[in-house]
Every structure is written in C-alpha cells, then in structure tokens.
Structure 1
Amino acid sequence: MEPENSYSFRQYLKDLSRYISPYRLQFFMGLFFRFTSDLSRLYPAWAISRIIVLLSDPVSLNNPSEVLKIFIFWGMVSIYFSFSHNLSKYFGYQVAERASLDIYKETLSHIFKLDFAWQEGESSGNKMKRIDRGLDGVNITIRRIFDVLVEVFVNTVGIIFIFFSLDKTLSLSIVFFMTTYFLFSTLMLKRAMSQEKSVNKSFEDLGGVTFEALNNIQTIKSLSIDWGVNVSVDKQIKELTQKIKRRIFLYQSRGGVQLIYESLFLFSVVSWIAWGIIHGQRDVGLLVLFIGLFGKVSTSSDELTQVTQQLALAKIWVSRAMAILKTKPIIENPEKVDIQQTYPPNWKKIEIKKLAFDYSKKSALRQISLTIHRGEKIGIVGMSGAGKSTLFKLLLDLYEDYDGDILIDDIPLKNLARQSYIDHVAVVLQDTELFNMSLKANIEIAGVRGITPRQDLEEVIRMAHLSSVVEQLEQGVDTIVGEKGIKLSGGQRQRVGIARALYRQPDILLLDEATSHLDAHSEKEIQNALKENLHKFTTIVIAHRLSTIKEMDKIVVLEHGKIVEQGSFAELLNNDGVFSRMWKEQKL
C-alpha cells in the first residue's frame, strides 16, 4: 500500500502543527491580522446597501449625518485593511518558509540514518524529489492558510450572519448552496486526485532518471550514450503525458459543472428577491447587498474547492516525506541507544565467527571465521564476486542482518552504538566520492565530531602525495573540486580519499583497492607513506595487485564467499594454491 493512502487528514494536521509550533507567536499574529482584515472587507457591501436605502428615504436626505458616518468609517476600514492584509502575510509567509526548511532538514538528516539496505532500494533522484516535495507541501499548506482559508472562513461566517439578521430564508439558502457546492466538488475531486497521485509518482520516477543521468554526466558525455537516456526519458514522458491529459480533463469537467451550478443558483435567488421587491416584501437594499456579497460567496466556494485540491496534493507530498521519517533505522535506531554499548578503546582483537550473509537473495559470505589482532595488517584477496567488498560493508556496520558474529573483544558489533564505533574507523573506497566544495573541506569533513584532529592537514596532504596537486590548483586547498570531484583525475581523487582517512586518525583503517587508480610511481610513493603509518592502525586491505600486500601480517584468500587460504605472503606463495595461481597470472 502506498504510504499516502494510510496518511489521514488528522495526521496531516498533527504533523503540520508540529512544524508550526516553534513559530506559533508569528503564526497567530499573522492569523489575527488576516482575520480582522478580511472582516473589514465585508463592510463596503453592507455600507453601499445601507447608503442606497438611506438615499431612497426622503427623511434621511434631510439628515445626511448617518451617511457621512458610514463614509468616514468606510475610509478607516480601508486604511486598516491595506495595513493588516500585508502584515498578515509578512508573518505567515515567514512561518511557511521556516517550517518547510525544518522538514527539509529533518528528512535529509533522517535519510542519513537509515540503513544501507533502504538506501539501495531508493534512487538518489527519488529521495531528492521526496525531500523537495515535503518542503513544498508544508510551504503551500501554510501559505494557503493565509492566502485563502482564513478569508473563506470569515466570508462564509460573516455573510451568513449578515443575511441571517436580515432574512433567515436567504441565509439558509446560502448555507445550502455552499454546503452542496463543496460536497459536490469534493466528490468530483476524489477522481481527479486519484489521477494526481499517479501523475505525482510518475514525476518522481522521471526526476529519478534525470538526476541519475546528470549525476553521471561524465560517463554519458565520454561514451556519447545520451541517446539511451533520452529513449528512457521519452518513454516515461509519453506515459506521463497521457496521465496528465486525463488529469486535466477531470479537473476541467469538474470546473464546468461547478460554474453551471453557481449560475443557476444566482439566477434563482436574484429572481426570488426581485419577486419580493415587486410585491413590497423586500427592499432594493437587500438585492444590492446580496449581489455585492454573492461574489464573495461564489469566490469563497470556488477558492475553498481549489484550496482543497491544493491541500490534498500537499498532503500527498507531505505523506511521502513523512513516510521516510516514519521508516525506522534498524542499525542506528535511537530506541536502541540506552541498551547499546560504547566502543571499547583498548580492545585487543576483532573476531569474526561463522559469518554468513545473503545479498539480494544470493549467498555472498559463507561461514567465515577470522581473528584480527590489534595493530595487525590484514590483506583480503580474491576474484571479483568473492565477497571482499561485502566483508568490508559488514565491518563498516552497514548491514546487521547476517548470521554469525563480528566481535570487538567479546562485544558483538551489533551491540555497539554505530556512531561510537564508526568514529574510530576510516575507509578508502575504490572510487573515492568527493563533494562539490573545497579540497580542504573534502579532507576535513572526515574529522570526528567534537574532537580536535591529531593530524595536521598539511601533514596528511604530504603523506597522501597531494602536495603537487595542491600547487597546481588555482586557489590551493581552497579550490572547489566540482561535483563528485570532476576537476580532479581518478588518481588525484583517490589521494584525497587517502588524505581523508589519514586525517581521521582511526584505530581501524579499511583500504578497498586504495591505489588502483594511481600510476606505478605514485602508487609506490603512497605505499611507502602508508607503510610508515600503518603501524598506527589495525589495517585491512582489499587488493587486486598482489604486490601491494607483501608487507601484510596475514593474507586471507576468498573464493565464492569462503576463506580458502590464509597465511603470510611467503607461505601462500609456496602453497601452490589459489593465491599462488593468482600471483603467477599477474606476473604473466
């Protein structure tokens, strides 16, 4: 079931009030000024009808003071309206913007906490669309309160009250019209909104494809494969166009029926009042007042149905964001904090016991057992698909739905608060991901929160052999590296990843093909630099080039998710097993 189907209007209001609450003073000030300004707008129609009645009375013509008072008060009301109407929006729009930014920030922050399995099931474009739509939903809802809803409420209650004091039958007829108009419009709106949901989901999917394409623009330009993306986009747009066509038809047919009903009602009531005037039962002032205020009645009825449509759509958008917020992370679940343990800083060993993990219904690791002592350097090798990267993901605590155990001393990794653990871990991935900010910021972002880094920025730049790169950049370490680090080469990006890991000064360092994008000279220099510092960490290295792990204390060979060999480089080379064959193949 789609999340918006179970998202009630009551829950929508409850969530909305939570985001308004920090700004409730401004919110209520805006409501006060909007309420009183709309109330003042009802006065002119009454004033005109009253003036007509007075001017048609010969007695009143001899004493124009009452007419003068009406004009003076009318002027005062007009001045107040001009002041209060804009002031209400000044307060209300601020609340709308700030509350919408709050849900944006909260949703984004929550996404960062959700499990990696959830992240893999949602495209980046889809996530971005849901965050943006949540912001828009809250913003639109609060703005419509100040743009329409207060005005509709004041007009409806005020006009009914005015006519009730003059003619109860007329007042009841207006209540009947507004009630039937709204109910009828709402029934027709349901069909249109059902189609709106379908269109909304299609836009999310299209946005996801577009985001992914733009996010991989270098590949698309390099291989000139934009035609493939365009084919996919064209197909989605054709399907979306048909859905939009149906949506427009439903909305417009609804509007046409509303207009016919409104016109018939106006004709009927004006005829009824005119009949009363002809027979001396009503005066002309009532007809003038009704014609003057019915414009507000019909406008309010129409605005109410339109804003209902907009709020229904905003509710869908907010529900998509709230569905994210209501998704509970398993690994970084706040409810587990009180029962989780903190990272033991003086641990002696990491013990992997009968570790098994299935990934996408396929066995990735099978009964792996391994002991890693503090300060050891461990190499992990194997063919593609052997399970090397999967083991890294489990050591990074990205998944916990595995069988067996990963123990830090005697504490299961599942029982450790992830943030407490991960603050002491650094990783260099095969493809280093950089942000569209300065080189300096891309390194310093790895610093542990609240802790002054022990490693100097210039020192890690030197250790990662980035100094020559910095010298070539126009603004040095303050140079913006571009989206995904596009201004840097693959090797340069990988050096930034190494500098980032060294800057973190972790207890546990994970290197996943960390020098795969480097030339032989740079690789040798960085290997020497790492060799100088690896004694500071417990290091686990995934390597394709076996020559890079000669200095490891232990090498583990994986095949089809199992450990088939382990030992030192020399021992495995002499065993004439899987490792030895891999070595000989690389030497050819």
Structure 2
Amino acid sequence: MSKPESANRSRHYKRFMLLQGYGARLMLGLVIMLLTVVIQLSYPKALAYFIDNIKLQQDSSWYSTFAIVMLLLLSVQAVATAMRYYCFESTGYMIVSKVRQQVYNAMLSQPIGFYDKHNVGELTNRLSADVEILHDTLTMGLAISLRAALTFVGGVVMLLLISPALSLMLVFFVPLSLYLGRWVGRRITQRANAMQQQQALCGKVAHEHFSNIRLVHAFNQQKTARSAYASATDSALNVSVACAKFFAYFHGLTSFLTYLTLLVTLWFGATLISSGSLSIGELTSFILYAGMVTSAASAIGDFWTEWMRTIGATDRVFDIITTATPEEPAQQTPLVLAGNVSFDNVSFAYPERSTQRALQHISFTVNAGEKVALVGSSGAGKSTIANMILGFYMPCEGCITFDNITMQPSNVKCVRDNIAIVEQEPSLFSGSIYDNIAFAVAGREVSASEIVKAAELANADEFIQRFPDGYHTVVGDRGVQLSGGQKQRIAIARALLRNPRILILDEATSALDSASEAKVQQALSTLMTGRTTFIIAHRYSTIVEADRILVLSDGHIVQHGSHTELMLQQQGLYFRLMVNQLAQNATAGQRIANAV
C-alpha cells in the first residue's frame, strides 16, 4: 500500500474511531432504521396492488381494510423515524462534545511555542465550527447514507422481481452516479480545507480587534477594523462561492441523468405494457422503486462528497489532538525545591525565529533566597530568561537546573509548582476576585480564610472589602473593572497563596503611579521575603533592592554584581543605563517643580 493511500485510510479510521463507546445507541438506531426501510419499500408494492385490483374487487369494503393497514404502517413508520432521528442526532451531539473536550484538552497541553504560531481567534474557531462539522456527517450523515444503502439494495431487489428487462435501464445510471460522487469527493477535500482556513482567519481578525477594542476606539480605527474584517470575509466568501459553483455543476449533472433515466424508463415501460408483459400497477411501482434507487444512489454520492469535505475541514483538528503533549501520570511525586537556580551555558532561539539567538551561552547561579535583578534594554533577553525558568521553552543548548535537578519536559510541571509570577499587566480572568486569587492552587479546594490571609498580606483586603460584593466582585474581562494597582495586588495575593520558592517579578511596578507603587512595593517586599526572586525591572528604586544584578545585552550577560559594584564600572552598560534613568527622573522632577 502506498503512503498516500495509507494516510487516507488513517484519516478515515480516526473519524470512525470517534464512534467508540456509542455502539448500543447506534445499533438501536440501525435496527429501527431497518424497520423504516422495510416499511418504505412496501409502499410501492401496496400501491401496485391497489391500482391493479381497484376494478377487479366487487366488494368496496376492502378499501377500508387497505386504508387501515396503511394507516398502521404509517404510524409505525412515524414513531420509528422519530426514534431513529433521536438516536443518531443525540449521539452526534455526544460525539461533538467529546471531540470538543479532546481538542480543548489537546490545546491546553500544547507547548507555549504553539501559541506563538496560532492566534486565539483561529483556535476558538477550530473548537466551534470545525468540530461541529463532524456532527453533520459522522452520525446523521452516516445514518442517512446507511439508510440509502439499505433502500438501494432493497429497491434493486424489488426492481428485478417486477421486471428484469426494465431494470437494465438502471445499469447505466447507478454506477455513473456513484462514480461521480467519488470523483467529486476526491476534489472537495482541499476546497473544504481552504474554506475552514478562511473562516479561521475571520475569527482571528475579529478576536484581535475585540481584544483590543479600547485601542480601536481610542485611535478611531473602527473603519480600519471594519475594512480588515471585510477583507477576511470577502476572501472566505470567494472560496465558498467557488466551492458552491463546483457543487452546482455536480448537482446539475446528476439531476439531468436522473430525469433522463426516468424518461427512458417510462418509454420502455409503455412498450412492455403494450405487449402485455407489464401491468400499469407494476410500471407505477417500478417507477417508484426506480426513484428510490436513484435517490439512494445520489444520497450515497452526496454523503461521500460531504464526508471528504469533513475530512478536509477537520484535518487541523486531528493534527492538534495528535501533536498534543501527553499528560504526566496523575500521581507524580511532588518536587519540593529550596530555590537554587542555575543556567549552564544556555543558548536559545524562539521557534519562529530559529536563526536569531535570544540567549547566547548564558551561565549564572542563584542561591536560595537570593534576589537577582535582570537589567538591560528591550530585547536583551530578560523576559526570555523568565520564560525559560517557567519551562515555557527548553534550551537549544546547555541546561537549567533547580537544586541540581535538570529541567526536562517530563518534570517541568513539578518544577512550576514551586514558581509564581507577577506580571507588569496581571492576567486576570473575568470571574470573581476570589476565583482569581484561588487560581494559584491547583488540585484542591482553597478555603476562604486562606484567600483573605493572602489578600491581607498583599495589601488588597482593604479595597476588596469596600466593594459591595467583596471577594465575589466580578473583575470583568482582564480585570477591566479594577485599577492597575488593584490588579497588581490581586496578582501578588495569588502568588502569596501559591507560597512559591522561586518568584518572578516582571516589571511589576513599572506601570503604576507613585501612590499605588508604594502599596504594591510593600506587598512585594512581603512576597519576596525568604524566596529566590528574579526581578525584571527598569526603575532605579526596584533594582537597588536586589542582592545581585545581571546586566544583559543582545542575549549575553555583559556585567554582574551588586548595584554599588556596577556603578563603580563607569565604562559599563549598567552605569550608562542608571545615569540615563536618573537624568530622566531629574528632568521630570524639574518639570513638576516648574509647574508648581
């Protein structure tokens, strides 16, 4: 078997494997479906009997008997149809729900580099639109095609029993219809993939502008936002229209072939009636069975087309599931660190910029409880070091150790259990203050007393209690209902509740006013006590508090030492950075004095 054929079979197999666990429901649906098909196939035969005997029966009471029997059949079919629909439709929703959870879990398990390449709007589109397509084909679509297959087989048998000669008319149409369905199916996969990619692009554009809606309004860029979304939707429309055009040709051709076959059947059937080889009732039932067979053949072809479109549209979904990082065993032994951190000849390049090193041969050791400031201009590598301590990326060269334990993909989660981060713009969920602080601890319920204690240590309890709903105050998307200082203190409370051995402060006070900074700085002092702390900062007041300072430039450590030691090196980068900052502060102070 060639590789393309093997890959194709694998794509079909992955979709059908989703049916595992629903065998009983599907089997019940199939049994009910068989009953509805048998009843459906009996109608033309009953009609033929009625037509051929309507003038021969002397007693008109048989009309009533015939009508009652048909009414019973109709009732049974109606109930069976409803049960069949429920079985397959509900199973479809169950499968979609299961796949959606699988995709979501797979996305959560992806490394951070995955999110560097994919926009959040695109990913949410995968979760919604792409997965939903499976519902339309995997259960209901498959059920319709199976019913069509049963109807096709039963219809062909009935046609042969009525008139083998007349059945020859279908020998040409049915294989041609099935061939056309397969031919279209092979060509629709790429088109379907392109449609889903364009829909994902629309989601990406919308998400970016909605996520930054305040910036859009602040700069009056509504027109630009509309134009960007219109361009994305126009591209999606063009791809969809091209796909619809392709389908239109296919449906037009199959419609012509269907009615041509019917016309030829009527002509030949009339000839057989004239010769006495066929009755009017038999011709009527033959045409009805022929309609069933041709419709069933078309339905099978349509399903194959839809199925191939589904495969193309869901390829990305299954790629995400397949490439997810396997979950570690639930009972993994906890790792309790003292807080010693060492970088040994570490080099690193971001996956999207593999030719440009963000860190080059970085080596340093931080002892437990030590406060280390990372200083340098933008792009020097400060945040990259923080990202690597958190295990977001693994080194391209060298290694990172914690208490002489080398960080690896297999133990990165255990290492993270000992780390907390406070960011410049704290990441808050749209829920309550309570939930945002409790987010620090995974795997157990957090008591209200623990939350309050952490908030008190972070100087946050005072302002939280002033809210009407207290700790149950909803903060809004990204904490939009709170001030910058309030968000920072909630983030500090979250870090305190985690009780980490290693702490990362990423520009934690740079965006605050002096009054807020004083409160946050007091909370940070409490947080840093006894913990290994990495401080990414530009402010003089924050840097001088560090026990040691690492000065970075272009991914290298160019200086290291205490503030006093580095200020003595007047030719060094640190001295220039501090002098520039002090000069800026003096200028700002003079402007304030002049204004007063």
What TM-score, normalized to structure 2? Answer: 0.89
Equivalents in 1 of 2:66, 2:260: separation in Å? 34
Q: CA deviation at 1:390?
A: 0.5
* Aligned residue identity for 1:319: D
Query: Which residue in 1 is equivalent to 2:205?
Result: 209
TM-align CA RMSD: 2.7
Query: Which residue in 2 is equivalent to 1:581?
Result: 576
* Aligned residue identity for 2:218: S
Distance change in 2, residues 1:6/1:518 (3 Å): farther
Equivalents in 2 of 1:476, 1:460: separation in Å? 15
| Contact 2:552-2:559 at 8 Å conserved across structures | yes
Distance change in 2, residues 1:172/1:515 (3 Å): farther
* Aligned residue identity for 1:567: G
With 90-99 and 184-193 compared, the bigger mean Cα shift is at 184-193
Query: Which residue in 2 is equivalent to 1:29?
Result: 28
Find the partner of 1:357 among 331, 348, 364.
348
* Aligned residue identity for 2:482: L
Q: Matched residue of 1:447: which SS?
A: coil
Tell me whether 1:435 sits opposite 2:434 in the alignment: no
Q: Matched residue of 1:28: which SS?
A: helix
* Aligned residue identity for 1:80: V
Find the partner of 2:509 among 515, 527, 533.
515
* 1:358-373 equivalences in 2 (<5 Å): 358-359=349-350, 360=353, 361-373=355-367
Equivalents in 1 of 2:8, 2:554: separation in Å? 52
Q: CA deviation at 1:494?
A: 2.6
Q: Matched residue of 1:487: which SS?
A: coil
* Aligned residue identity for 1:27: L
Find the partner of 2:452 among 427, 449, 458.
458
Query: Which residue in 2 is equivalent to 1:567?
Result: 561
Tell me whether 1:126 sits opposite 2:122 in the alignment: yes
Q: Matched residue of 1:405: which SS?
A: strand
Tell me whether 1:231 sits opposite 2:222 in the alignment: no
Find the partner of 2:290 among 291, 294, 298.
294
Query: Which residue in 1 is equivalent to 2:137?
Result: 141
Query: Which residue in 2 is equivalent to 1:183?
Result: 179
* Aligned residue identity for 2:509: T
| Contact 1:130-1:317 at 8 Å conserved across structures | no
Q: CA deviation at 1:145?
A: 3.7
* 1:447-526 equivalences in 2 (<5 Å): 447-450=441-444, 456-526=450-520
Q: What per-residue deviation string (whole Å, max 9, x for no partner) do you get for residues 425-447 of structure 1?
A: 11112222222222221221221
Query: Which residue in 2 is equivalent to 1:528?
Result: 522
Tell me whether 1:45 sits opposite 2:44 in the alignment: yes
Q: Matched residue of 2:224: which SS?
A: helix
* 1:211-360 equivalences in 2 (<5 Å): 211-329=207-325, 333-334=326-327, 344-347=335-338, 349-359=340-350, 360=353
Q: CA deviation at 1:369?
A: 1.1
| Contact 2:29-2:84 at 8 Å conserved across structures | yes
* Aligned residue identity for 2:506: D
| Contact 1:512-1:543 at 8 Å conserved across structures | yes
Equivalents in 1 of 2:54, 2:312: separation in Å? 54
| Contact 2:340-2:367 at 8 Å conserved across structures | yes
Q: CA deviation at 1:186?
A: 3.4
Equivalents in 1 of 2:535, 2:93: separation in Å? 48
Q: CA deviation at 1:476?
A: 2.5
Equivalents in 2 of 1:492, 1:81: separation in Å? 65
Query: Which residue in 2 is equivalent to 1:74?
Result: 70
Q: Matched residue of 1:296: which SS?
A: helix
Find the partner of 1:94 among 90, 95, 105.
90
Distance change in 2, residues 1:185/1:7 (3 Å): same
Q: Where in structure 2 are there 5+ consecutive unaligned residues?
A: 584-596
Equivalents in 1 of 2:60, 2:554: separation in Å? 101
With 120-129 and 236-245 compared, the bigger mean Cα shift is at 236-245
Query: Which residue in 1 is equivalent to 2:105?
Result: 109
* Aligned residue identity for 2:389: L
Q: Matched residue of 1:551: which SS?
A: coil
Equivalents in 2 of 1:128, 1:109: separation in Å? 13
Q: CA deviation at 1:103?
A: 0.8
Q: Where in structure 1 are there 5+ consecutive unaligned residues?
A: none
Q: Matched residue of 2:363: which SS?
A: strand
Query: Which residue in 1 is equivalent to 2:393?
Result: 399
Equivalents in 1 of 2:393, 2:168: separation in Å? 64
Equivalents in 1 of 2:189, 2:362: separation in Å? 53
* Aligned residue identity for 1:527: Q
* Aligned residue identity for 1:583: M
Distance change in 2, residues 1:170/1:433 (3 Å): farther
Query: Which residue in 1 is equivalent to 2:531?
Result: 537
With 531-540 and 264-273 compared, the bigger mean Cα shift is at 531-540
Identity of aligned residues (%): 24
Q: Matched residue of 2:276: which SS?
A: coil
Distance change in 2, residues 1:438/1:63 (3 Å): same
Equivalents in 2 of 1:378, 1:451: separation in Å? 33
Q: What per-residue deviation string (whole Å, max 9, x for no partner) do you get for residues 455-494 of structure 1?
A: 8111222233333442454422222222222222333323
| Contact 1:444-1:500 at 8 Å conserved across structures | yes
| Contact 2:341-2:367 at 8 Å conserved across structures | yes
Q: Matched residue of 1:352: which SS?
A: strand
Q: What per-residue deviation string (whole Å, max 9, x for no partner) do you get for residues 179-237 of structure 1?
A: 21121243245445543433332222222112211122121122222333333333334
Equivalents in 1 of 2:244, 2:149: separation in Å? 28
Query: Which residue in 1 is equivalent to 2:588?
Result: none
Distance change in 2, residues 1:196/1:134 (3 Å): closer
* Aligned residue identity for 1:295: G
* Aligned residue identity for 1:580: F
Equivalents in 2 of 1:7, 1:117: separation in Å? 30
Find the partner of 2:415 among 400, 414, 421.
421
Equivalents in 2 of 1:341, 1:277: separation in Å? 81
Q: Matched residue of 2:88: which SS?
A: helix
Q: What per-residue deviation string (whole Å, max 9, x for no partner) do you get for residues 277-322 of structure 1?
A: 1011111121110233333233333333333332222222222200
Equivalents in 2 of 1:141, 1:238: separation in Å? 27
Distance change in 2, residues 1:580/1:500 (3 Å): same
Q: What per-residue deviation string (whole Å, max 9, x for no partner) do you get for residues 90-131 of structure 1?
A: 222221111101111111111111111221111111212222
Q: Matched residue of 1:539: which SS?
A: strand
Equivalents in 1 of 2:14, 2:254: separation in Å? 32
| Contact 2:159-2:290 at 8 Å conserved across structures | no
| Contact 1:375-1:537 at 8 Å conserved across structures | yes
Q: Matched residue of 1:552: which SS?
A: coil
With 383-392 and 218-227 compared, the bigger mean Cα shift is at 218-227
Q: CA deviation at 1:9?
A: 5.5
With 28-37 and 11-20 compared, the bigger mean Cα shift is at 11-20
Distance change in 2, residues 1:93/1:80 (3 Å): same
* Aligned residue identity for 2:19: I
Q: Matched residue of 1:514: which SS?
A: coil
With 67-76 and 296-305 compared, the bigger mean Cα shift is at 67-76
Find the partner of 2:380 among 381, 386, 396.
386
